[in-house]
Structure 1
């Protein structure tokens, strides 16, 4: 049995689907019945509903588990105590291998979120349990939170469009995780950078322009607008103007839909205050500094194929949404 924590999120669900497609027996650890229904639809053989912060719930979830994929919920800032619960449960139940979803460059001092993942890596490293760390770059999927805006001709995000970001397709990450979880030999004690390539949001917007057949412009939202929408009022005016210039008749409808879609992206306004502050701080760092890719030679080796490019990702996601390529 393989346990996947965070099975209600995008990466967790993708790992579930990958493992199910390979015929593996998989258990999903989720927080509520809605997520449980999604996990069953993704192929989970078993589902445990619980609180990842509860040592008792983690112990129950790891019963009869041989390998574990752990991805921490973004809505919770503090990870170390949860990792310690996982280690204790793994020892008690004889779990043989843990694959941890970490982040690229956990050494960056100005981002608590990154540093906390580095501390969790150390918890697993010292545990005596075989473990593998997957240091994922910025997900290409992050911009799909603004899909209606993209169709309306704008690519907004709470960072500068000039910030260069190392990116990776979450589906590539899930494939690597499944590869290691099914055949862990040789991956014990390893830490892998998972990065496809680097580009800024202007370059992303040009790719979307080519794929969708109308101009898409990158727009900066102030990071402070994540918690206070009024701080983004000026940027919203820019969004509306650029959308009208790009798609004209369709723009008003798509701007309205985009506002509804992104008004509480990822449910951030429901997060604890410290989590919201941490996330805003991370966006402030990206706004000023971007985020370099890691070693881009690693991912193709782990996939045994070239990593997915941003263009390939954009074409795939447009087709999935029924948008004909230009």
Structure 2
């Protein structure tokens, strides 16, 4: 049995699907009934609904599990108690290996999310639990949260368009995770950077323009808007102006729908205040410094092929959204 925590997340869903397609029993850990329905459709054999911070949830998830893929939601600030419980209780439940989902450059200790991942890595490294650590870069998929705005011709984000970001396709992360989870022994004690390419958002916008067939302009939204919505107001004029220039009157509907989605990015309105502030600080750092990629040679070696390019990802995303639109209409 392979157990996947955060199984309704971007990597988790794809990982459950890949394992299920290979006929592997998968136990998915999710936080609510809606997510349970989703992960069962993805192919999960068993589902545990609960909070990862609950020892009871963790024990239920671990029972009879040989390999655990563990990823904690961003809104969980302190991951130490979870990792300590996995280390203490896992072996007695049958756990033989943990594939730990970390973050690229966990040594950026001024960022809470990165520092907490570094702490977790250290706990696992100092334990006797066989572990593999994955350090993914910024996800290409993060920008799909503003899909309607991309359709309108703008790419607003709380990071400077000039900042260089290392990025990776979630699909490649899930494929690498599946490869390791199915045969973890050769990867024991290894730490893998999962990065594909470095791009500014200006460069990303140019790729979206090529794929969508209309202009797309990257616009900076102040990172402070993540905790103070009014801080985004000065940037709205630029967003509307660029959208109208790119797509004319067609931009109106997309702007309205995009504004609705942007009012609660990543479901942050439901996060605790300390998690929202930690995310703001992280985006502020990326705004000033970007986020360099890790070792670009690692992911091709794990996949046995070249990783998906940003254009590959963009074209696939457009095809998926068009297919979903046809399904919704029919």
> Does the pair score TM above 0.5?
yes
Cα deviation, residue 315, structure 1: 0.6
TM alignment of 1:244-255, pairs within 5 A: 244-255=244-255
Are 2:50 and 1:50 equivalent residues in the alignment? yes
Deviations 1:67-91 (A, max 9, x none): 0000011111111111111222212
Question: For the residues of structure 2 that align with 1:89 and 1:143, how far apart are their CA atoms?
Answer: 38
CA shift for structure 1 position 122: 1.2
Counterpart residue number, 1:259? 259
Residue-by-residue CA offset, 1:252-299 (whole Å, 9 max, x unaligned): 111001001111011101100100000000000000000000000000
Q: Give the distance between the partners of 1:153 and 1:92, measured in 2 at CA.
A: 54
**Equivalent residue of 1:267, what SS?**
helix
CA shift digits 1:29-67 (9 cap, x unpaired)? 111111111110110000011110011210111111110
How many residues were matched structurally?
323
Q: CA deviation at 1:143?
A: 0.3
Is the partner of 1:29 in helix, strand or coil? strand
C-alpha separation between the residues in 2 aligned to 1:133 and 1:276? 26
Aligned to 1:289: 289
Classify the secondary structure of the residue corresponding to 1:135.
strand
What residue in structure 1 maps to residue 146 of structure 2?
A: 146
TM-score (norm 1): 0.98
What do residues 156-180 of structure 1 show as CA deviations (whole Å, max 9, x unaligned)?
1101000000000011000000000
Q: Which residue does the alignment assign to 2:327?
A: none
The answer for the alignment partner of 1:320 in structure 2 is 320
Residue equivalent to 2:99: 99
**CA distance in structure 2 between the partners assigned to 1:322 and 1:273 by the alignment:** 36
Measure, in 2, the Cα distance between the counterparts of 1:114 and 1:263.
25
1:115 matched to 2:118: no
Alpha-carbon deviations, 1:190-222, whole Å to 9, x = none? Answer: 000000010100000000000000000000000
Distance, in Å, in 2 between the alignment partners of 1:207 and 1:89 is: 47
1:147 deviates by 0.3
The aligned counterpart of 1:303 is 303
Where in structure 1 are there 5+ consecutive unaligned residues?
none
Structure 1 contact 55–86 (Cα < 8 Å) conserved: no
Q: In the alignment, what sits opposite 1:13?
A: 13
- CA-to-aligned-CA distance 1:134-155 (integer Å, 9 cap, x gap): 0000000000000000000001
1:205-244 to 2 correspondence within 5 Å? Answer: 205-244=205-244
Relative to the length of structure 2, the TM-score reads: 0.96
Q: Runs ≥4 in structure 1, deviation > 6 angstroms?
A: none
| Alignment gaps of 5+ in structure 2 | 324-330
Query: Which residue of the partner structure matches residue 167 of structure 1?
Result: 167
C-alpha distance in structure 1 between counterparts of 2:318 and 2:8, whole Å: 23
Whole-angstrom distance in 2 between the partners of 1:56 and 1:213: 51
Q: Following TM superposition, by how much is the alpha carbon of 1:127 offset from its aligned partner in structure 2, in angstroms?
A: 2.0
- Displacement of 1:247: 0.1
Partners of 2:322 and 2:9 in 1: CA distance: 23
